Structure 1
Amino acid sequence: MAKITRITTQKKSKNRYNIYLDRGQGEAYGFSVDEDILIKYRLQKSMELEESTIEALIQKDTIHKVYTQTINYLSYRMRSEKEIRDYLVKKEVDEEHINEIIRRLYQEKLLDDLEFAKALVRTRITTSSKGPIMLKKELIEKGVDASLADEAVQEFPFDRQVEKAVKLAEKKLKSDRKKSQRQQIQNVQQHLMQKGFTSDVVKESLTRLPEEEEEQEWEAVVFQGEKLLRKYERKSEGYELKQKIKSGLYRKGFSFELIDRFIDENVIEK
């Protein structure tokens, strides 16, 4: 049996207390506890403690300290259960203590994977270019169950998806102005699919894009055609040169009408 002889406040942490004990050999430092533990178990001077009780108090204090650190970790943003578990594992917390902390977080409604997932989706809608497929993948990577991830992406309605996809498509088109309209559309489709938008959203987005003017398509033909002309004119001429340029422009998605016009106006017979 040990008797509490003194309780002092720690200098660097005013909400933690050092407990001094006398086990029959004079006063010596015993252990420290958080203020919550001190109050909950009514620790006070002259109280006698069994060794088993001391061990239990130390363990409860350890869990309490980790729990407090976890609350601080949660204060920056919502977290998934997996993120919390990974955090605690990294801190080398015992599995038994991890499970107890997780249970307490759920009880106090500080942990909720569905609400976490919905909040992340709402944030990503305004801060990222990801579509629902990529958002679901991100949620699953963060440990959210697939069924909860499916429910969470419902926060991203179809019309909002199309709105975002159109903006991404318009930006992509601007960077591809020197390419054929067909190649531009193909690139837009690929870009939107890579961002995680469904085929229905991609299809609807394409219908909302402005039609390309003929003059712009002609400028693209000239730009690409001149590049091919510079590439091939040193080693080829006549029919062979025309065919190489015609083949190159066709692969880039231009119409035969515009290709023939470019060749007629720019490739000189020798």
Structure 2
Amino acid sequence: MKKITKIEYQKKNKDRVNVYIDDSFGFGIDLNILIKYSLTKNMELSDEFIEDILKSEEEINVYNYGLVALSRSLKSEKQLKEKMLDKGYDLELIDRAIEKLKNRGYINDEYYCDCLVNSRINGAKYGKRRIAQELYDKGVDREITDDKLKEISDEEEFERAYELGLKKLKSINEEDTRKKSGKLSNHLIYRGFDYDTVKKVIEKILKL
């Protein structure tokens, strides 16, 4: 058995403590871990108990990393999980941390979907197809994505594509109508609008 010979607060972070084992530094842990395991001076610890303490510490580290990452920018569940895996955290601890973050409302893919759709419509002026692909790539459930995009009417989609088409037309230095049509079509399809919408927009702009 090993004995705790000293516990002291860390100088730069009073929410953490250093635990000394047999007069040598043992490990640093979150104050919540100290309380959870009722650690005190002269307490004897087995190797298995120390391993359990350190695993709990790692779990808190993963959770806190998630909080910091989410505070910097909104993320989908998949995006956050990938960042945690890139940091080298244990998959089991990642899953626990993400579940806790979801239960506390810090991760919400429906809210993330709403924010991204609004950003791409009002900012980038993307079409629904490109927005949908971006959300799929970020791991947002297809049902959540599809339900949100159904709220965008065909009229709204057309008006957005028409606005982009008029803007693009100003930069096209072509006299030939077919070449203008081709460049407009490629631009709007790249922006994520479906073929039928693109066709109607080009017909209106070029009065075909």
Q: TM-score, normalised by structure 1?
A: 0.68
Q: Which residue of 2 aligns with 1:4?
A: 4
Could you say if the C-alpha distance between residues 75 and 157 of structure 1 is closer, same or farther in structure 2, counting changes exceeding 3 Å? farther
Q: Which residue of 1 aligns with 2:184?
A: 188
Q: Which residue of 2 aligns with 1:16?
A: 16
Q: Which residue of 2 aligns with 1:222?
A: none
Mapped pair 1:173 → 2:169:
yes
Shift of 1:37: 1.8
Per-residue displacement from partner, 1:196-253 (whole Å, max 9, x unpaired)? 11234334534654859xxxxxxxxxxxxxxxxxxxxxxxxxxxxxxxxxxxxxxxxx
Q: Which residue of 2 aligns with 1:120?
A: 116
Question: Structure 2 matches for 1:80-159, cutoff 5 A?
Answer: 80-154=76-150, 156-159=152-155
Flag structure 2 segments of 5+ consecutive residues without an equivalent: none
Q: Kindly indicate whether the alpha-carbon contact (under 8 Å) linking 2:7 and 2:18 is maintained by their aligned counterparts in 1.
A: yes
Q: Which amino acid is the alignment partner of residue 42 of structure 1?
A: S
Larger radius of gyration: 1
- Comparing 3-12 with 63-72, greater Cα deviation is found at 3-12
Shift of 1:180: 3.0
- Comparing 172-181 with 130-139, greater Cα deviation is found at 172-181
Q: Which amino acid is the alignment partner of residue 111 of structure 1?
A: I
Tell me the number of residue pairs that the alignment of Structure 1 and Structure 2 aligns: 208
Structure showing greater relative contact order (alpha-carbon pairs closer than 8 Å, 6 or more residues apart)? 2
Q: Alignment partner for residue 68 of structure 1, among 64, 81, 86?
A: 64
Q: Which amino acid is the alignment partner of residue 116 of structure 2?
A: L
Shift of 1:61: 0.5
Shift of 1:138: 0.9
For residues 173 and 137 of structure 1, the distance between their equivalents in structure 2, rounded to whole angstroms, comes to: 26
Helix, strand or coil: the match of 1:32?
Answer: strand
Shift of 1:60: 0.5
Flag structure 1 segments of 5+ consecutive residues without an equivalent: 213-270
Q: Which amino acid is the alignment partner of residue 5 of structure 2?
A: T
Shift of 1:115: 2.1
Q: Which residue of 2 aligns with 1:202?
A: 198
Q: Kindly indicate whether the alpha-carbon contact (under 8 Å) linking 1:34 and 1:61 is maintained by their aligned counterparts in 2.
A: yes
Q: Which residue of 2 aligns with 1:218?
A: none
For residues 163 and 29 of structure 2, the distance between their equivalents in structure 1, rounded to whole angstroms, comes to: 56
Shift of 1:18: 0.2
Q: Kindly indicate whether the alpha-carbon contact (under 8 Å) linking 2:19 and 2:28 is maintained by their aligned counterparts in 1.
A: yes
Q: Kindly indicate whether the alpha-carbon contact (under 8 Å) linking 1:122 and 1:155 is maintained by their aligned counterparts in 2.
A: no
Helix, strand or coil: the match of 1:187?
Answer: helix
Helix, strand or coil: the match of 2:101?
Answer: helix
Mapped pair 1:49 → 2:50:
no
Q: TM-score, normalised by structure 2?
A: 0.86
For residues 14 and 182 of structure 1, the distance between their equivalents in structure 2, rounded to whole angstroms, comes to: 70
Shift of 1:64: 0.6
